[in-house]
Chain A
Amino acid sequence: MNLLDTTKIAIKAIFTNKVRSCLTMLGVIIGVSSVVMLISLGKGLEAFVVQSFEDLGANNIFISPGNLFDEEGGFGSMQDMAVGAITISFTKTDVRQLQRLRQYVEKVAYWNAQGDTLRFLSNSEQGMVIGTNANYNQVLITNLEKGRWFTHSENESGERVVVLGYKIAQDLFGEVDPIRKKIRIGTVTFNVVGVAEEKGGAGFGGPSLDDYTYIPFETYSRIYDTSRVIEMGIRANPEVEIDNAIQAIEENMLQRYKDDEFSVYDQGEILSVIQDILGMITIALGGIAAISLLVGGIGIMNIMLVSVTERTKEIGLRKALGATPNQILIQFLIEAAFLSILGGLIGLGIAFGGSLAIQNVFPAKITTEAVLLAFGVSTAVGLIFGAAPARKASRLSPIEALRYE
């Protein structure tokens, strides 16, 4: 008797009890589809975040106040930042000092930020006002949908010009072209010179980048009466190693600040921490979904045990007619594995469909690894949970089995 014959017998048995087979598969279907869906959501989120970071521009170095990374490589003082415990800020002296490191530094952008109300005619919206310099859009790649960015001279003379984020422009102006229109930020009137392209997404828990409003730093200083720089972004010279640039910047900053008063980091550092976190989340989500796969496996075992009991007489007959214990074992194992694999394939189909359906709302990315994992696990579930019933079947005595009523 060859494997093909055994497989045919097993498949026939499955189709003989269609409803029961479907219900048995349901556990695996739900398990596999949720494992694949959740892993694909995790992976999609990761890909989205990586892409967003890459969009911000490579070769970028950021200088933030406080000790941002702890020794384990996680976000150390995020909590401090959230509660406003960090009181350190930078000044334009720092900017000038850093600009002198010409060997390493190509451009320096610096900024401060504050929430405020923006008004156009009777429309008013809350937005995040960023006071920055003319380099900002080149360092933190911010392409313009319309108009232009403000110039160095506009910054230095404190002109009241503004570049609007995509969404805030939409909310304030609707169909009207915002360029050369006047808006008010707080009580001060500004001339709109540009609108940024849609960035999508959001900062981590912060406002959407599309709600940002950019004004010259000097203008910001006058309106909000502050010369503090809360963060700096540096476009490193592409001809030097980024680590060397970071080292040079750190040495420069140490001339004015203590070691724990500032952090110098590149995007790779943030990205790897975020990827670690998202990786953990993906594993956790997959793990939770895997529990349903386990439940599905137990369902298969349960039904296979019922099936063995129900077909005791058939097993006895097959043995009387010459089936060896191994042939019976393989027949029932194939039956369990087939149910499980079929369930796995249907589950995969559902996961594919589900991922496509939510693509517009949430980035989901089905990876080959997730598919192979789900397929491998569902086969293993069938074989592992089918083993006990199959073994029971193969060990039945033909006489006892034939006598079974």
Chain B
Amino acid sequence: MKKKADKSQTQPILELINVCKDYQLGTQTIKALDNINFSIQEGQFTSIIGPSGSGKSTFLQVASILAEPSKGEIKLKGKDVTQYNEVERARLRNKEIGFVFQQFNLLARTSALDNVALPLVYAGVDLIQRHQEAEKILTKFGLGDRLKNKPNELSGGQQQRVAIARALINNPSILFVDEPTGNLDSKSGQEVENILKQLHQEGRTIILVTHEPKLAKIAQKIISLEDGKIIGKHTPPYKDLKN
């Protein structure tokens, strides 16, 4: 499972080069991302912060290959994936990207075990192996006794842990985390924070999108966005950032 960062490696695992993303709103063109240059090395943990409407979500969508950029280039493990078609992008997301959403996005009426195993369904893994792997990872997140529980039988914190387990089951190269504590109480939020720290220590590459500077600070690097542009890059101890 663990991916140890190779410090000697210089090639970024993900690279956005001059990326723009425009939206058409009636007759108006909205520049959601404006000439973004970004890279992250394997094993790094970077937070993206910015107020609402700053382009954080669009950044996450484009960087995670959910959305295509209007302009620019995206390289994953050195490979230009900008021109990939929809099927290739789906396969790439399945193999290389893990998602943790603010609203968990678990399938209702589906057990924790099957929710976690879902990415393996699309990876073509057989049922027995899917369940074995899902059980292993759920146990790791302290949910070994909740395998058969449906999302509505779990607390918010537990649901988010199921969602994190699902994001990790395919052993992705990069984990995209979108406002993971937004729907949680402070105790559960703290739990999730600790999990993210632990995953980073294990060598995971993480991109965290949040509007909370306090949460963002658990990363090694913070990038501030405003009006679709990168307006600042911050490093610990983040004295230049307000909480």
Q: Which residue numbers of A lie inside 8 Å of B, CB to CB? A: 1-2, 5, 9, 12, 16, 313-314, 317-327, 397-399, 402
Are A319 and B90 in touch, CB under 8 angstroms?
A: yes
Query: With A1-B124, A402-B101 in contact, is A321–B118 under 8 Å at CB?
Result: yes
Q: B98: nearest residue on chain A (CB-CB)?
A: A321
Give B43 Cβ to nearest chain A Cβ, in Å: 23
Complex Cα gap A2–B121 (Å): 8
**Docked pose: A320 CA to B167 CA in angstroms:** 11
The 5 closest A-B pairs by CB, nearest first: A322-B94, A322-B122, A324-B90, A321-B119, A324-B87
A399 touches which one: B66, B91, B170 (CB < 8 A)? B66
* B93 touches A (CB below 8 Å): yes
Q: Beyond A314-B107, A317-B107, is A327–B124 a contact (Cβ under 8 Å)?
A: no
Do A399 and B61 have beta carbons less than 8 Å apart? yes
Q: With A1-B124, A16-B109, A402-B101 as known contacts, state yes or no: A322 contacts B91, CB within 8 Å.
A: yes
Docked pose: A146 CA to B127 CA in angstroms? 75
- Nearest Cβ on chain B to A75's Cβ, whole angstroms: 64
CB proximity to A under 8 Å, residues B108-138: 109-110, 118-119, 121-124, 127
Interface residues of chain B: helix, strand, loop or mixed (majority): helix
Pairwise interchain contact A5-B121, C-beta atoms closer than 8 A: yes
Which of A1, A2, A320, A323 lies in contact with B66, CB distance below 8 A?
A320
Q: Which residues in A have their C-beta under 8 angstroms from that of B185?
A: none
Apart from A399-B61, A399-B66, what 14 extra A-B contacts exist at CB < 8 Å?
A: A1-B121, A1-B124, A317-B105, A321-B99, A322-B90, A322-B93, A322-B119, A322-B123, A324-B86, A324-B87, A324-B90, A325-B86, A326-B87, A399-B67
In the complex, what residues of A have CB within 8 A of residue B90's CB? 319, 322-325
- Most chain B beta carbons < 10 A, residue from A1, A320, A322, A326: A322
What's the least CB distance linking B24 to chain A, in Å? 14
Q: Which residues of chain A are near B110, meaning CB under 8 Å?
A: 12
Rounded to whole Å, the gap between the CB of A132 and the closest CB of chain B is 77
B95 adjacent to chain A (CB < 8 Å): yes
Residue pair B124, A2 in contact (C-beta under 8 Å): yes
Can you pick out 29 interface pairs between chain A and chain B where the beta carbons lie within 8 Å of each other?
A1-B121, A1-B122, A1-B124, A2-B124, A5-B127, A12-B110, A16-B109, A319-B90, A320-B66, A320-B93, A321-B93, A321-B118, A321-B122, A321-B166, A322-B91, A322-B93, A322-B94, A322-B95, A322-B119, A322-B123, A323-B122, A324-B90, A324-B122, A325-B87, A325-B90, A398-B66, A402-B66, A402-B101, A402-B105
CB distance from A175 to the nearest CB of B (A): 69
Contacts of B109 in A (CB 8 A): 16
Per the bound structure, the CA–CA distance linking A314 and B105 in Å amounts to: 8
Chain B residues contacting A323 (CB-CB under 8 Å) are 90, 122
Give the Cβ gap from A401 to chain B, nearest Cβ, in Å. Answer: 10
- Chain B residues whose CB sits within 8 angstroms of the CB of A320 once the complex forms: 66, 93, 99
Q: Which A residues are CB-close (under 8 A) to B95?
A: 322
Whole-angstrom CA separation of A11 from B93 in the bound complex: 26
> Complex formed: what's the CA distance from A283 to B101 in Å?
57
In the assembled complex, the CB of B92 is this many whole angstroms from the nearest CB of chain A, namely 8
A354–B66 alpha-carbon span in the complex (Å): 54
Shortest Cβ distance from A19 into chain B, in angstroms?
Answer: 14
